[in-house]
Amino acid sequence: KGWVKLNTDRVVSKNNSFVGIGRVFRGVDGKWLGGFLMKLRNDSIFKIEARALLEGLLISWRKGY
């Protein structure tokens, strides 16, 4: 009880010009709490994953999770 799960995924465009990242927040019972999508310029996998994690944590903080 009291946990929120953050699932992440990404997709790269066919011409490698941009990356889409998405995050889903679920409660302890698996119910949807929220989510977001974001378009970024293509970069290293590390930077993309780090940005996605940062955005997820910022949203979690703002929502009081």
**Where exactly are the structural domains of the chain?**
5-63
Q: How far apart are CA 29 and CA 32, in angstroms?
A: 9
Q: How far apart are CA 29 and CA 27, in angstroms?
A: 5
Asked if 43 and 26 touch (Cβ cutoff 8 Å), the reply is: no
Asked whether residue 20 carries a pLDDT value surpassing 80, the answer given is: yes
Nearest to residue 40, comparing CAs of 17, 6, 7, 14? 17
Per-residue pLDDT, 21: 86
User: Would strands 4-12 and 32-41 be described as parallel, antiparallel, or unpaired?
Assistant: unpaired
pLDDT range class, residue 13, cuts 50, 70, 90 = confident
Tokens of 44: 């290293």
